[in-house]
Structure 1
Amino acid sequence: MSHPNEVGGYKLGSLIIEGKTKQVFDLPELPGHCLLLNKDRITAGDGVKAHDLEGKAAISNQTNAKVFEILKGADIRTAFVKMASPTSFLSKKCDMIPIEWVTRRLATGSFLKRNPGVPEGYRFTPVKLETFFKDDANHDPQWSEEQLIAAKLKVNGVVVGQDEVDYMKRVSILVFEVLEKAWALRDCALIDMKIEFGVDAEGNILVADVIDSDSWRLWPSGDKRLMVDKQVYRDLKNVTAADLDTVKRNFTWVKDQLDHLKPTIHHKVVVFMGSAQDKEHCNKIAKAAKDLGLSVDLRVTSAHKATEETLRIMQQYEDTHGALVFIAVAGRSNGLGPVLSGNTSYPVINCPPPSDKLVQDIWSSLSVPSGLGCATVIYPDSAAIMAAQIIGLQDYLIWGRLRAKQIEMAAALRKADKQMINH
């Protein structure tokens, strides 16, 4: 394949690497970035089987972009930046960790060959995670976690040890589960998938490379006979033009379906404050909630002084949203949370504002009449997280953001611990 000088308005530098289905170019005018250019080529069996497939580059590029936008929506750290042209995309420049991370929900394919006796369709709960060292000459041998750690791979200044492996394990599973929940919205089962990681110039480990129809198994309605992934091509004995058209139609179907994987639930977190003086506290709740991807409204009303108005506002939200969480910010005698809870079937969280009588205010929020179910927290971010956990039951992106936040917090603690030990 010839090397173009410019793609999508970006002047290309040297060819960094060329694979079976893509080329990666340096971008001299955009330091820290590179451009991945897809090929109209499909391969299998470490390149033993290979065919030209007109239009595949554009289909794969759009599929990849849509997948990474979903991951971005879940706050998963990736190298993907944006599409650069119909057949290419812009990425943060990374040195790649030469490991494929394969996550499986059902046993099929090579897993059955390596594990005789396991029936096809055996369900892994939790998901099964495997690692393979990228080595075409030896057909990408499977590595154990111990082999991976013992190899002490050094990538862009980062030595891959236990902490790095644990991080990539958790992110690999999160990527799979986010996409599994997304595909479930179209009654399509994500059976397994592979991803790769890279290390950027700052030492960050990012989901990198490409995620497209070469990367996973997809079975509509959970039926293997309806598979729409690259396995269709792998299984072909003699590849005809009609067969290639079928593969292309499948890939196009997957690309188009990705437009319909956004969460369909219309949610809202409504923060009721008993007084406008509590706005600063409520703004902290709203900021923490918005950082988790939540849609937030702030309202001022009093259950004691304007009961009918409070209930009217509440009912307006009930009539217009499919997923709701009410957060009551009231001190002194907290009637706001209990009144809301006694008149709605949606969850209510009490989060009293700071005051010199906070202990009494907390007790007022905790001591509610029988038959009511208000939760009570003190800190604004706690209220936001609890609201996100509730909305996340119906919105996989909010759920993913919570999981990503947990992973990043754990990674930060490990980094701090390592610095403390080495101090």
Structure 2
Amino acid sequence: MSRKDISGHAVGSLVIEGKTKRVWDIPSGDGGSSSFVLIESKDRITAGDGAKAHDLTGKAKVSNATNAKVFQILNSAGLKTAFVKPAGDNAFIAQKCQMVPIEWVSRRLATGSFLKRHPGVPEGYRFNPPLQETFFKDDANHDPQWSEQQIVSAGFCFNGVTIGKGEVDYMRRATICVFEVLERAWRSRNCALIDMKIEFGVNNMGQILVADVIDSDSWRLWPSGDKRLMKDKQVYRNITGEVTQSHLDEIKRNFEWVAEQLDHLTPPYRCMVVILMGSPSDEDHCRKIMECTRALEIPTQMRVTSAHKGTGDTMSILADYEGAEMPIVFIAVAGRSNGLGPVLSGNTCFPVINCPPVKADNVDRDIWSSLNVPSGLGCTTVIHPEGAALAAAQILGLHNHLIWSKLRVRQLQAVASLKAADKKLREQ
């Protein structure tokens, strides 16, 4: 296998070249082909299936940075993607995939080609949940829209995986999940993600992964929800007549703005779960809660305090956290006569969740002690440690898109696991 150097990495043969990128094979240590490729961006912008195209100096660097930041958000949320790591200014390394020749489009608002295909629908019509559409990748026929039935009937098979109804359903669900994760992220910067497209590939192990490139060519993005402020490739599509250098400079500035904004979409966590236990004997129960919150990367602390035996200390601990200037959820772990949760709830406006460490010999009394709280208190009771952790995460996720994204991806993974188990049984 002949080799050359791209972005400081030794690569082998050219796998495929598109309008805006090249895909290079990465050799294995024994000189053969590895399970990875290097995807190199070009300083090229196109529209209309390539009918409109211009060189745009610096676009490759900006697009590569944008793509890396987007996939890092998706990977940190737990989504399965082909992206591995950046490889210099203009390229990145990804798992080698056989690509499913379908563009998966999610739409929050009706605009663009959707309006042409659906006359009578006003621009800005909002889709709840996001509308999902699929298009067969065929430049010669302008990427015709395909139904689920057409995709299944095509009989696609990649790396031993036949694309049937289950696979299409997973990709549809994953497409919506990707959109919602990025929509929440952009909302934190007061930007509306209007629509976007992604692609999937099947790696050498038969896993379906979000693949290809996601950059400013992939979406419509309107700051403050205002179409007039669009920062995406639609600016280029909308140019009529001659495309001047001034036009290209504006487009590049827009793309650079997007890449810079992405740096702010993964801020450090400014929230916390505080687990207060009434006795050190409850530590094992509390650690089960903390394992779940830390799996979601939520900062978590454990404290020991008794509302009955050390009320003043409990109030002092509460005051310290209330002055921390961040969202906090308290989880109270106390059995028998549970005064900890109600006392906390009666003295703070932060959420309080009871999670009593129930024992088999007095389960009914322990649960009743946490349920039968005085009037005027809003502390809830969750019995299972994982349930208490997830309830706290859902509360914090209302204002933290990183936590919300991890919860959203967990939902996708739960469905995918059930489908995989069902498929395994059917194939026995």
1:355 aligns with 359
- Deviation by residue 1:133-157 (Cα, 9 ceiling, x = unmatched): 1111111110012212222321221
- Quote the Cα distance in structure 2 between the aligned partners of 1:389 and 1:50: 45
TM-score (ref. length: structure 2)? 0.95
- Deviation by residue 1:377-418 (Cα, 9 ceiling, x = unmatched): 221111111111111111112111111111111111111112
Give, in angstroms, the shift of residue 294 of structure 1.
1.3
* Helix, strand or coil at the partner of 1:194: strand
2:370 counterpart of 1:365:
yes
* Helix, strand or coil at the partner of 1:182: helix
Where in structure 2 are the equivalents of 1:53-202 lying within 5 Å? 53-202=56-205
Letter in 2 for 1:25: W
- Quote the Cα distance in structure 1 between the aligned partners of 2:208 and 2:278: 45
- Deviation by residue 1:117-144 (Cα, 9 ceiling, x = unmatched): 1122222222111100111111111001
Give, in angstroms, the shift of residue 210 of structure 1.
0.5
Long gaps (5+) in structure 2: none
2:389 counterpart of 1:384:
yes
Contact kept? 1:178, 1:400, Cα under 8 Å: yes
- Most deviating of 22-31 and 155-164: 22-31
- Deviation by residue 1:27-54 (Cα, 9 ceiling, x = unmatched): 1137321111111111111111111111
Note the aligned Cα RMSD (angstroms): 1.6
* Helix, strand or coil at the partner of 1:269: strand
2:4 aligns with 5
- Quote the Cα distance in structure 2 between the aligned partners of 1:354 and 1:222: 49
- Deviation by residue 1:276-304 (Cα, 9 ceiling, x = unmatched): 22222111111111112311111111111
2:215 aligns with 212
- Quote the Cα distance in structure 2 between the aligned partners of 1:219 and 1:299: 45
Give, in angstroms, the shift of residue 8 of structure 1.
4.1
- Deviation by residue 1:323-376 (Cα, 9 ceiling, x = unmatched): 111111111111111111111111111112242323321111111111112211
Contact kept? 1:11, 1:29, Cα under 8 Å: no
Letter in 2 for 1:129: Q
- Deviation by residue 1:1-59 (Cα, 9 ceiling, x = unmatched): xx981234421022111111111111113732111111111111111111111100000
Letter in 2 for 1:144: S
- Quote the Cα distance in structure 1 between the aligned partners of 2:281 and 2:292: 19
**Overall identity of the aligned pairs, in %:** 62
Letter in 2 for 1:422: E
2:342 aligns with 338
Give, in angstroms, the shift of residue 321 of structure 1.
3.7
Give, in angstroms, the shift of residue 185 of structure 1.
2.0
- Quote the Cα distance in structure 2 between the aligned partners of 1:364 and 1:59: 58
- Quote the Cα distance in structure 2 between the aligned partners of 1:368 and 1:247: 60
- Most deviating of 72-81 and 58-67: 72-81
TM-score (ref. length: structure 1)? 0.96
Give, in angstroms, the shift of residue 265 of structure 1.
6.5
* Helix, strand or coil at the partner of 1:272: strand
1:42 aligns with 45
1:27 aligns with 26
Letter in 2 for 1:395: N
Contact kept? 1:265, 1:322, Cα under 8 Å: no
- Most deviating of 15-24 and 114-123: 114-123
Give, in angstroms, the shift of residue 263 of structure 1.
5.2
* Helix, strand or coil at the partner of 1:320: coil
2:314 aligns with 310
Contact kept? 1:187, 1:220, Cα under 8 Å: yes
- Quote the Cα distance in structure 2 between the aligned partners of 1:26 and 1:406: 34
Letter in 2 for 1:209: D
Letter in 1 for 2:27: P
Instruction: Select the residue among 257, 260, 263 that pairs with 1:259.
Output: 263
2:239 aligns with 236
Letter in 2 for 1:242: S
Letter in 1 for 2:243: V
After TM superposition, which residue ranges in structure 1, 4 or more long, deviate above 6 angstroms?
none
Contact kept? 1:265, 1:394, Cα under 8 Å: no
* Helix, strand or coil at the partner of 2:172: helix
Long gaps (5+) in structure 1: none
1:422 aligns with 427
- Quote the Cα distance in structure 2 between the aligned partners of 1:228 and 1:131: 24
2:412 aligns with 407
1:18 aligns with 17
* Helix, strand or coil at the partner of 2:274: strand
Letter in 2 for 1:210: V
- Most deviating of 408-417 and 183-192: 183-192
Give, in angstroms, the shift of residue 259 of structure 1.
1.3
Contact kept? 2:269, 2:298, Cα under 8 Å: no
Letter in 2 for 1:111: F
Contact kept? 1:101, 1:131, Cα under 8 Å: yes
* Helix, strand or coil at the partner of 1:170: helix
- Most deviating of 353-362 and 372-381: 353-362
- Most deviating of 67-76 and 18-27: 67-76
Letter in 1 for 2:270: H
- Quote the Cα distance in structure 1 between the aligned partners of 2:141 and 2:60: 27
- Deviation by residue 1:251-281 (Cα, 9 ceiling, x = unmatched): 1111111112235772100011112222221
Give, in angstroms, the shift of residue 192 of structure 1.
0.7
